[in-house]
Structure 1
Amino acid sequence: MVSLAAVLAAAGLASPIAAMADPHPTQQWARSARALPGSAAATATKAAARTAPSSKRLARPGTKPTAGGTGHPGPQLADGADPGHNGDGYVSNEYDLQMTYKGGEDSKGIISGPPKVYLVVWGSQWGTSSTNAAGDVVLSQDADQAVPYQQDFFKGLGSAGDGWSAVLTQYCEGIQAGTVQCPASAAHIQYPNPGSVLAGVWVDNAAPAPQAADEPELGAEALAAAKHFGNLTEAQNSNVQYIIDSPQGTDPDKWRELGYCAWHDFQRSQYGSLAYTNMPYLTDVAGCGTNWFGENTARGRLDGYGIIGGHEYAETLTDPNTPGGWTDATGQELGDKCAWIPYGANGGLFFENLSTGSFPLQTLWSNADHLCQSADPVTTGPALTLKTMCDRTDAPGRIGIPAVATDSAGAAVSYSATGLPAGLVIDPKSGVISGSSSGTAGWQRITVNATDAGGRTASTGFWESVTGNGQTGCNGIEQLINPGFENGSADVDHTVMTDSWSPSGYNVITPSSLHAAHSGTWYTWLGQDGSSSDDSITTYLNTYPGYQGANFSFYLDTESTNTAGSSPDTLTLQAFSQYDGHPLGTVRTWTSSQGANSGYQYQSVDLTPFIKQVGWGTTIGLKLVSHESGADPRTAFLIDDASAREH
């Protein structure tokens, strides 16, 4: 059997993201998740396990994935782990693909400043608050004492013996999309100073938290937290993540029904981009780490807050504005690739002894070692870094463009700029370019410079155009996993990856020589089975608050022998809700008469009206379905080089 490595090499996928990079950087599936092995219930059927992934959700064992093209994509099984004693050994990232840099969403690819976590204890259901001997906030209705446990974990990061945090420091930003190894000149994730990660705790008890908060409500709580903590600018939020703790008994983002444990995400806001995590009350569900090592103790009940909390924290550092940071070709982030490998196994779960206690953690994927690692040498970058700024268009009128520099010593930074359009100036203290511009000068190259108190300098440049068709912020980057289908097609022992498209049959995504791809080797061929069954592919698009529109495009070649104009064969694009599969509508229908235009033709549709039905910050499903009107297959709908972008 030909290995996936050979298939990818033949398809030119050594650097799978480079070919799809957007020259105007700004986002994939952000959020984080993989299924947990270790119970017989985790051994879902292979067919069910091969559903479209959602990198947002860290899934738990004992949940059956949602099959087919409706409902939310089901969980995947973890890399390196056998799913239960009777499992088939299938792992979702069997070939250990390296992480590659996606290009930076809204000029942000990692958290490059000193990492900070704000813990948000949401809702009056937590009871009254007090402080314990360690200085932790404790709540009277926190039955398992999850809140102080999390505080101790984040307080302990960076203390002696924390090799886990060092694994993260190899990853960087401001480099070419598709890069695997970071140069020393790039801005790297910083190793935390002891006791510096936990930046604050807010008990937001003015009202009850929703019983079943949806994604927009969770995002709104992150926005309220930014305001509460006084983080009111892009610079103040550039190295921050907010963890939204929901109270016991609640069901945030339907975590009970959908079978995941937690996720991380981001949103645009008036305070800059905000990275945040949805953290349910993990001990409500045994599969989310409770007594994962068999301790059967009060502290053991909180194992998930180390394993899962660490997972989401690490992935936020490496992919805060998802999907602009580090993922592999299947969309997995560095925590996904090592999730739930059993304790004692190679690259498995382990205990890290920090100054504040011993905490169970999962390993993290290291490109440098091509392994799941619990420790690595610390990698350092320049003392002063300036975030790469994306090329952008803006509408005439008031404009605000943030420049964000980071000095590893905490020294003050001053800013200057050249090439600014008339009417715009840069604030030397904040780095914000602001003012009013009519846009008469067209494209202009702007260079921003930063200087710290020690005389060190950094600079970056970007193109700016102020036009009537301008938009707020950067242009969106590719949202889809495997947009060109070059990861291949499913087969019976899962040696090739198709999870991101959920094809209706293993040969729907194909390299068949009976037709040709638009580019590369693989393409989708819908319309193979005649009127007896419809062919389809399904993917999911995560949307983000702060964006106003989204487009989906692909190249379509319609090869047809159907001459019955009254009964054409059809291809439809359907949008549906992530939660229950209810249709949001038919986006567009193509017919076999399109075959009059031979060869691949570019197709583009506006998804904005369908996203507005459920609100920005939710996930929608997209399903392309072919239907044959006759007894014999007469139309082949060939699809390649798809794309989804938000703006």
Structure 2
Amino acid sequence: MTAVPTGAPRRTRLLASALLSLGLALTGLSGTANAAPQNDPQTLAQADSVSAHPASAGWVQTHGDWVQIQPGHPHAAASARPASGPQAGLSGAPQPQADPAPGHNAVLVNNDQPNMAYKGGQDSVGVTSGPPRVYVIYWGSQWGTAGKDADGNTTLSNDPDNAAPYQQSFFKGLGSNGDAWSGVLTQYCESVATGSASCPADAPHVGYPQSGGALAGVWVDNSTAAPQQATEPQIAAETAAAAKHFGNTTAAQNRNVQYVVTTAKGMDPDSWHELNTWCAWHTFERSSYGTLAYTIMPYLTDNKYCGTNWINPGPRGRLDGYSILGGHEYAETVTDQNAMGGWIDPAGQENGDKCAWITQGTPGGLFNLQLATGAFAVQTTWSNDQHTCSGSHPVVANKPLVVSTMCDRTAPPGKPVELPVIASDSASAKLRYSAAGLPRGLAVDPRTGVIRGRTKDTGYHDVTVTVRDGAGNQASTRFWYGFFATGEYGCLGIEQIVDPGFEVPVDAKGNYPGWWSPSGPGIITQSTAHQPRTGAGYAWLGHSAAQDDSLSQGVETTPGYTRASLSFWLHVASGNTAPAAQDTLALELDDQYSGKRIAVLRTWSNLDATGGYVPVSIDLTPYVASEFGSTVIVKFTSHETGSAQTAFLLDDASFHLS
């Protein structure tokens, strides 16, 4: 993300509601069957269709079709927020000009921050491993009538700043004119070990835009009005409608695609104006068309802090935000397509977040990128290779044949299996698939790469699928495929906690820069007064009796999963010998969007002193069964009496979905 306007609170821009909210009527998307006579055949048919597409399973009706959407949620590292205020590293709001006005501090590159590491891929997707394809959607009749300009860009009658053709020209130009900005992104890859900070040459890297640019299509969806204040599920539904409109209805067709849902002037998508903490964000959703990566892009000139005339003067400079923020979200999507499964640093930042709003003219600062379609204001992005914010890097080209990551997964024995392996090839259209390690009863189709069949075998199987093309190229993907009679099935979930071991150190001013939200300094610490369980860092609650200590982090309960579990290690070190519980630690679960408490999960006191760290594991499923798709806050709060003789020490937290 980038930053916040002056005076706006720092908060993780995570959304609640999703799967539960899908049961509600979406503006412009639901019918009015209840108004028809009870025995009307059309009413009965609609009722049958509704029962066959339950909202609880993520089904919504959009543009006359049923589609199963299970939207994921943007997280702090997936948002772009307007730059100003202390959280942006500024003493005040920067002026929309090349250099800060007198009295304003510059935003400078920080080369002391850590490199990003690979998170392991989510739902078999880590990065955009083929040439990126961007589809732009102009959502709603509020855009007015569509036309064309001399360059073939779509224009709209209710677009006073002429933002639409600028936005299209930017995506059309990517990859042209020796575009080394896009080259920075190609250093990142997938199909490497979780935690890797570099990529071997033969790994599937982020693709470079094909000749003709990244823009793959434009849809002016102006048949009806878009919701004035669209919710995240409505944005996800529009994305799914766009996938259908463009004919991208399979996982393979959406593998290297991102959708940019763009709203008209005066619209307020996802409470954009009320929250006032973000300019754009990207996320992904599970759908019956595969996983869909998408960005919500409001009418940016409605907020002067979202790039308006940020480095360029005049009418064209008013649109600087569409390339600064459009480039920010594009870069983060291709390197972290199914957030948070791609490349992220220990503090939870993506490549765009680490380099946002750096002052033009300074190292790593904003600059005008010269493309074949014009000059566009862009920010730099983080380069692990160069360990800095960079706008230039040699293109790391993929080998001609690329096979996408396959997640480790489980399935029930005896049930039908249909699992696609996705490959792309720039050298040959003739592909042949083979597999080793599959259990009896399963086989890969040599022409399509789809694994099908049934098996009664149980346990894990080490599977390798190899793809060969007509030009003699070969590539493989390897994954574990487990078959068990009980349990949760599908891709194995990745760690959802950012900085689970409290290893991100505080900065020179004692501030913690990671995703945990401590109530004060010293809670996340490497102090030798106590010991961590592993590593150097741990959390220490119960410093004094003067005030309560708290520590929290927002975590997504991604729809499509059915179980959630929290675990951590706790050491209660107490010198309080009172026979009653005086010093306490409470663990609660809150809904981040509403702020309401879901439940108090567990409490401890000075009476629960331990001889060291002991494991704690809590099944959160009963508490979030109706919350899957929302964001929950895991919050620890300590209360001390007397001279604060009890230390509640935490380490090695984990939040997993399955």
TM-score, normalised with respect to structure 1: 0.84
Aligned partner letter, 2:309? N
Q: Assess, with a 3 A threshold, how the Cα gap between structure 1 residues 538 and 562 changes in structure 2: closer, same or farther.
A: same
1:261 deviation in Å?
0.5
Candidates 636, 645, 650, aligned match of 1:634: 645
1:510-521, aligned counterparts within 5 Å? 510-521=525-536
Q: Assess, with a 3 A threshold, how the Cα gap between structure 1 residues 213 and 603 changes in structure 2: closer, same or farther.
A: farther
Candidates 373, 390, 399, aligned match of 1:373: 390
CA distance in 2 between counterparts of 1:128 and 1:609 reads 49
Q: Assess, with a 3 A threshold, how the Cα gap between structure 1 residues 608 and 276 changes in structure 2: closer, same or farther.
A: farther
Q: Assess, with a 3 A threshold, how the Cα gap between structure 1 residues 371 and 477 changes in structure 2: closer, same or farther.
A: same
CA distance in 2 between counterparts of 1:324 and 1:590 reads 34
SS of equivalent residue, structure 2 residue 77: coil
1:302-341, aligned counterparts within 5 Å? 302-341=319-358
Candidates 338, 342, 362, aligned match of 1:345: 362
Q: Assess, with a 3 A threshold, how the Cα gap between structure 1 residues 514 and 490 changes in structure 2: closer, same or farther.
A: same
CA distance in 1 between counterparts of 2:559 and 2:245 reads 19
1:291 aligns with 2:306: no
Matched residue, 2:587:
573
Candidates 221, 227, 230, aligned match of 1:210: 227
Q: Assess, with a 3 A threshold, how the Cα gap between structure 1 residues 365 and 514 changes in structure 2: closer, same or farther.
A: closer
1:529 deviation in Å?
1.1
Matched residue, 1:35:
3
Contact 2:122-2:493 within 8 A present in 1 as well: yes
Q: Assess, with a 3 A threshold, how the Cα gap between structure 1 residues 490 and 378 changes in structure 2: closer, same or farther.
A: closer
Contact 1:215-1:253 within 8 A present in 2 as well: yes
Q: Assess, with a 3 A threshold, how the Cα gap between structure 1 residues 490 and 346 changes in structure 2: closer, same or farther.
A: closer
1:351 deviation in Å?
1.1
Candidates 165, 180, 199, aligned match of 1:148: 165
Contact 1:159-1:194 within 8 A present in 2 as well: yes
Aligned partner letter, 1:545? P
Matched residue, 1:603:
616
1:613 deviation in Å?
4.6
Q: Assess, with a 3 A threshold, how the Cα gap between structure 1 residues 262 and 85 changes in structure 2: closer, same or farther.
A: farther
Q: Assess, with a 3 A threshold, how the Cα gap between structure 1 residues 464 and 194 changes in structure 2: closer, same or farther.
A: same
1:302 deviation in Å?
1.1
1:57 aligns with 2:70: no
Q: Assess, with a 3 A threshold, how the Cα gap between structure 1 residues 513 and 348 changes in structure 2: closer, same or farther.
A: closer
Cα deviation per residue 1:528-560 (whole Å; 9 max; x = unaligned)? 212x32111121113433333322221111123
1:564 deviation in Å?
4.9
Candidates 222, 225, 231, aligned match of 2:242: 225
CA distance in 1 between counterparts of 2:642 and 2:516 reads 27
Aligned partner letter, 2:567? S
Candidates 436, 439, 442, aligned match of 2:454: 436
Matched residue, 1:539:
553
1:84 deviation in Å?
7.4
1:478 aligns with 2:495: yes
Q: Assess, with a 3 A threshold, how the Cα gap between structure 1 residues 109 and 224 changes in structure 2: closer, same or farther.
A: same
Q: Assess, with a 3 A threshold, how the Cα gap between structure 1 residues 215 and 316 changes in structure 2: closer, same or farther.
A: same
SS of equivalent residue, structure 1 residue 638: strand
CA distance in 2 between counterparts of 1:156 and 1:506 reads 46
TM-score, normalised with respect to structure 2: 0.83
Aligned partner letter, 1:501? W
Q: Assess, with a 3 A threshold, how the Cα gap between structure 1 residues 353 and 490 changes in structure 2: closer, same or farther.
A: closer
Contact 2:312-2:320 within 8 A present in 1 as well: no
1:187 deviation in Å?
1.2
Q: Assess, with a 3 A threshold, how the Cα gap between structure 1 residues 403 and 519 changes in structure 2: closer, same or farther.
A: same
The unaligned stretches of length 5 or more in structure 2 are 14-74
Contact 1:117-1:243 within 8 A present in 2 as well: yes
Aligned partner letter, 1:199? A
Q: Percent identity?
A: 49
CA distance in 2 between counterparts of 1:497 and 1:411 reads 51
CA distance in 2 between counterparts of 1:488 and 1:150 reads 39
Cα deviation per residue 1:462-494 (whole Å; 9 max; x = unaligned)? 221121334342111122221111112466x25
Matched residue, 1:11:
none
Q: Assess, with a 3 A threshold, how the Cα gap between structure 1 residues 288 and 627 changes in structure 2: closer, same or farther.
A: same
1:623 aligns with 2:635: yes
Contact 2:107-2:359 within 8 A present in 1 as well: no
CA distance in 1 between counterparts of 2:638 and 2:537 reads 18
Candidates 602, 607, 612, aligned match of 1:593: 607
Matched residue, 1:19:
none
Contact 2:606-2:646 within 8 A present in 1 as well: yes
CA distance in 2 between counterparts of 1:76 and 1:501 reads 26
1:645 aligns with 2:613: no
Candidates 590, 596, 615, aligned match of 1:582: 596
Q: Assess, with a 3 A threshold, how the Cα gap between structure 1 residues 513 and 342 changes in structure 2: closer, same or farther.
A: closer
Aligned partner letter, 1:398? P
Q: Assess, with a 3 A threshold, how the Cα gap between structure 1 residues 51 and 89 changes in structure 2: closer, same or farther.
A: farther
1:162 deviation in Å?
1.5
1:62-141, aligned counterparts within 5 Å? 62=84, 86=103, 95-141=112-158
Contact 1:490-1:507 within 8 A present in 2 as well: no
Candidates 544, 551, 554, aligned match of 1:529: 544
Contact 1:275-1:320 within 8 A present in 2 as well: yes
Number of residue pairs the alignment of both structures matches? 589
Q: Assess, with a 3 A threshold, how the Cα gap between structure 1 residues 533 and 448 changes in structure 2: closer, same or farther.
A: same
Matched residue, 2:70:
none
SS of equivalent residue, structure 2 residue 240: helix
Question: Which deviates more from structure 2 when the two are superposed, residues 92-101 or residues 549-558?
Answer: 92-101
The unaligned stretches of length 5 or more in structure 1 are 1-32, 67-74
Candidates 555, 568, 574, aligned match of 1:554: 568
Cα deviation per residue 1:250-290 (whole Å; 9 max; x = unaligned)? 22222222421111111222222211111111111011011
Contact 2:557-2:627 within 8 A present in 1 as well: no
1:240-279, aligned counterparts within 5 Å? 240-256=257-273, 257-279=275-297
Contact 2:12-2:76 within 8 A present in 1 as well: no
CA distance in 1 between counterparts of 2:3 and 2:121 reads 27
Aligned partner letter, 2:549? D
1:643 deviation in Å?
1.4
1:178 deviation in Å?
2.4
Candidates 204, 214, 219, aligned match of 1:197: 214
Question: Which deviates more from structure 2 when the two are superposed, residues 53-62 or residues 112-121?
Answer: 53-62
Cα deviation per residue 1:572-621 (whole Å; 9 max; x = unaligned)? 222233334232332333343332x43212122233455455551x4332
1:127 deviation in Å?
1.9
Candidates 475, 495, 519, aligned match of 1:504: 519
CA distance in 1 between counterparts of 2:11 and 2:284 reads 27
Q: Assess, with a 3 A threshold, how the Cα gap between structure 1 residues 85 and 219 changes in structure 2: closer, same or farther.
A: farther
CA distance in 1 between counterparts of 2:180 and 2:136 reads 23
SS of equivalent residue, structure 1 residue 380: coil
Aligned partner letter, 1:643? S
Q: Assess, with a 3 A threshold, how the Cα gap between structure 1 residues 612 and 230 changes in structure 2: closer, same or farther.
A: farther
Candidates 443, 456, 463, aligned match of 1:425: 443
1:54 deviation in Å?
1.6
CA distance in 2 between counterparts of 1:324 and 1:182 reads 16
Q: Assess, with a 3 A threshold, how the Cα gap between structure 1 residues 374 and 61 changes in structure 2: closer, same or farther.
A: closer
Contact 1:268-1:544 within 8 A present in 2 as well: no
CA distance in 2 between counterparts of 1:76 and 1:406 reads 46
1:220 deviation in Å?
2.4
SS of equivalent residue, structure 1 residue 309: helix
SS of equivalent residue, structure 1 residue 219: helix
